[in-house]
Amino acid sequence: MKLTILGCYAATPRTLTNPTAQLIEIKNRLFLIDCGEGTQVQLRKNKIKFSKINQIFISHLHGDHFYGLIGLISTFSLLNRNNDLHIFGPKGIKEIILLQLKLSNSWPNFGLFFHELTSNQSEVIFEDDKVLVKTIPLKHRVYTNGFLFEEKLDQRKLNIEAVQKYQIEKCYYQNIKNGKDILLDNGTLVSNNELTFDPEKPKSYAFCSDTAYNEAIIPIIENVDILYHEATFLQSEANLAAKTMHSTAKEAATIAQKAQVKQLVLGHYSTRYDAISLFKEEAETIFPNVLLADDGESFEL
Amino acid sequence: MKLTILGCYAATPRTLTNPTAQLIEIKNRLFLIDCGEGTQVQLRKNKIKFSKINQIFISHLHGDHFYGLIGLISTFSLLNRNNDLHIFGPKGIKEIILLQLKLSNSWPNFGLFFHELTSNQSEVIFEDDKVLVKTIPLKHRVYTNGFLFEEKLDQRKLNIEAVQKYQIEKCYYQNIKNGKDILLDNGTLVSNNELTFDPEKPKSYAFCSDTAYNEAIIPIIENVDILYHEATFLQSEANLAAKTMHSTAKEAATIAQKAQVKQLVLGHYSTRYDAISLFKEEAETIFPNVLLADDGESFEL
């Protein structure tokens, strides 16, 4: 699992900072989360293959989280993309994109599917054989969801020495990986435990931006490996955070601590502060494992 | 008059090249022409005061000419702009912008006025005491206009030595600047020619992008000081130019030569070519005064 930050600053794109967009790579699948203006250029700078992105998740319809989407879709078209593209986001996103494609008379030559979200309850919105994605309903000025990405449990790992010792034929291997016990020709039942190792523990990633401090998300994100939580402000601007329905670094850390996550990654910084290290310092007074997102940074699990 | 190129490359924003956007400064007024994705960052890089932009002209609704507009409007809002903003562009642009403002629940706190264009004839779309702006109907895959910016003739310049020689009082100066003759107390009529110099010749700028080769624009742009004409391709890709309704460098130069403009500036280059100098070389076989636009370049008149 690898998280790549394309942009993690609040409000507007600037010369050296980009609005929200990030990639989470899970078992060779690449999911784009949010798509602020300039995301396609950030993808190029980070040498990401455009054709590997097949799902885009948009948290909410504030410009710094989706104004780059129409440009990215248009560029996919110019690059003669073939793969279907699935877009998950608040109701309204389909109308915004289709209106612009219609008026520019540039209908994409690939399948473009919208999955509009309206629920205020966490729900599964994407699932394949490797990954499950659920919404995390957030509290912000407009309808907003975070996203929880969960690896699925892999099949069990074959203990090659053991299966060779019992001279088990290859055609049984898949059954063993699926957890079945094996009855040998001599009538002995060999338990699956003897023939396999546990698979790797599935990893999980929770993206929570933008949101006011909201303890309701804790049961959804409990024990995740990485929590990305917005920290637009420091505690000294707690009044601004409350007014704009954003979080402070301390509040983000409090959520991380209460949800017992393994690692907190902060982002969505207001550009009013001199150094983003201030966010880490404040969060670490509450929760020990704090990392700072920054444009172009990657975090590997 | 000063032309600043914020972006002049075709199709998509890339790491080092930007889609179309430019500023024309005329007598202390600053007009933004087109607004591809990333224009607000280009404005910051070029240290342009956002509050000085009160009129934005959009040529057509292809993404590389307007996807940056919604982001710029949102940033104007965040910066607590007060001035009215006027947007001139094809019918449909109002619906695109208002839909996004509505869905993001972020109505601007300044006056936002749309002037939607539908005519296929050149028309005056903006006029104040200093500047006149007319459309230049272009031939492209969607409804497209270029824009002609004309300075208005200044008042005549006072010949201070002459007015002092005749001991004319200051209260008559404005009349003299307006071209009036003066009757002295001794009954002598002094002709305005003796008291004034000619004002500077008004300058003009024509922006023509995107367009196929189109001689119908020649009467509109005749004798302009600067013609910016798109040259997406070289003559070796004339078939592609025809198919996509773009121009080659040679075609741009032919228009410049037939319209007897003083200076041709080329832009809107396809990124398929190794060096933009190739466009200049090709154009100069037809027309001598060719300059190459490039992102961040300025041209002063």
pLDDT of residue A105: 87
Average pLDDT over chain B, rounded to an integer = 96
Contacts of B74 (CB under 8 A, 6+ apart): A12, A63, A67, B101, B104, B106
Last residue of a domain, one of B197, B222, B252: B197
DSSP codes of every residue in A117-167: E--SS--EEEE-SSEEEEEEE--SSS--EEEEEEEPPPPPEE-HHHHHHTT
Among B74, B93, B95, select the one facing A63 at the smallest CB separation. Answer: B74
B172 and B34, same structural domain?
no
Cis peptide leading into residue B210 (ω within 30°): yes
pLDDT of residue B292: 98
Q: Taking residues B171-195, what's their average pLDDT?
A: 93
pLDDT band, residue A106 (cuts 50/70/90): confident
The alpha carbon of residue B90 is apart from the nearest alpha carbon of chain A, in Å, by 10
The alpha carbon of residue A243 is apart from the nearest alpha carbon of chain B, in Å, by 15
Whether B12 has its CB under 8 Å from any CB of chain A: the answer is yes
The CA distance from B61 to B278, in Å, is 28
Residue contact A12–B75, C-beta within 8 A: yes
Beta-bridge partners for A204: A150
Best A9, A12, A69 member to test B by mutation, with max B CBs in 10 Å, is A12
Strands (E), chain A: 2-7, 21-26, 29-33, 53-57, 85-90, 112-117, 124-127, 131-137, 145-151, 157-158, 182-183, 189-190, 196-197, 204-208, 226-230, 263-267, 290-292, 298-300
pLDDT of residue B106: 85
Convert the pLDDT of each residue in A159-215 to its tens digit. 999 999 999 999 999 999 999 999 999 999 999 999 999 999 999 999 999 999 999
Q: Residue A288: pLDDT above 90? A: yes
Convert the pLDDT of each residue in B41-68 to its tens digit. 999 999 999 999 999 999 999 999 999 9
- B-contacting residues in A 58-77 (Cβ below 8 Å): 61-63, 67-68, 70-71, 74-75
Q: Residue A301: pLDDT above 90? A: no
Q: Residue A124: pLDDT above 90? A: yes
B217 and B186, same structural domain?
no
Can you give the residue range of the structural domain that contains B165? 157-197
A176 and A237, same structural domain?
no
pLDDT band, residue B301 (cuts 50/70/90): confident
Q: Residue B217: pLDDT above 90? A: yes
> Binding residue per annotation — A115?
no
Q: Residue A86: pLDDT above 90? A: yes
Out of B34, B64, B225, B295, the active site residue is B64
Torsion, Cα of A89, A92, A93, A96 (10° steps) = -170
A165 and A24, same structural domain?
no
A174 and A118, same structural domain?
no
Q: Tell me whether residue B154 is one of the annotated catalytic residues.
A: no
Phi and psi at A137, nearest 5°, equal -60, 125
Residue contact B62–A106, C-beta within 8 A: yes
Among B12, B67, B104, select the one facing A142 at the smallest CB separation. Answer: B104
ipTM over 0.85: yes
The catalytic residue positions of A are 64
The CA distance from A172 to A177, in Å, is 9
pLDDT band, residue B211 (cuts 50/70/90): very high
Residue contact B38–A67, C-beta within 8 A: no
Cis peptide leading into residue A84 (ω within 30°): no
> Where do we find the tokens 């600067």?
B226
A225 and A192, same structural domain?
no
> Binding residue per annotation — A64?
yes
Which residues from chain A sit within 8 angstroms of residue B142, using beta carbons?
103-105
State how far Cα B293 lies from the chain centre.
14
Q: Which amino acid is at A248?
A: T
The CA distance from B250 to B235, in Å, is 7
Which residues from chain A sit within 8 angstroms of residue B78, using beta carbons?
11-12
Q: Which stretches within B67-197 are classed as H helix?
A: 69-78, 93-103, 160-165, 173-177, 192-195
Which residues from chain A sit within 8 angstroms of residue B114, using beta carbons?
none
Whether A99 has its CB under 8 Å from any CB of chain B: the answer is yes
Residue contact B71–A63, C-beta within 8 A: yes
A290 and A164, same structural domain?
no
As a whole-number percent, the residues of chain A with pLDDT over 70 amount to 100
Residue contact B105–A142, C-beta within 8 A: yes
**E strand or H helix at A256:** helix A249-258
Q: Residue A17: pLDDT above 90? A: yes
A183 and A236, same structural domain?
no
* B91: closest chain A residue by CA: A103
CA angle A197–A202–A203, rounded 5-degree value:
145
Under 8 Å between Cβ of A127 and A100: no
Residue contact A99–B103, C-beta within 8 A: no
Q: Taking residues A20-27, what's their average pLDDT?
A: 97
Convert the pLDDT of each residue in B79-132 to its tens digit. 999 999 999 999 999 999 999 999 988 899 999 999 999 999 999 999 999 999
- The count of structural domains within chain A is 2
A139 and A9, same structural domain?
yes
B167 and B87, same structural domain?
no
Which residues from chain A sit within 8 angstroms of residue B232, using beta carbons?
none
The CA distance from A170 to A152, in Å, is 25
Which residues from chain A sit within 8 angstroms of residue B43, using beta carbons?
none
Q: Which amino acid is at A10?
A: A
**The domain that contains B72 carries what CATH number?**
3.60.15.10
A131 and A217, same structural domain?
yes
A173 and A237, same structural domain?
no
Convert the pLDDT of each residue in B223-255 to its tens digit. 999 999 999 999 999 999 999 999 999 999 999
Other residues' Cβ atoms within 10 Å of the Cβ of residue B72: 22
Half-sphere exposure at residue A22, Cβ-oriented, CA atoms within 13 angstroms: 29
Phi and psi at A175, nearest 5°, equal -60, -40
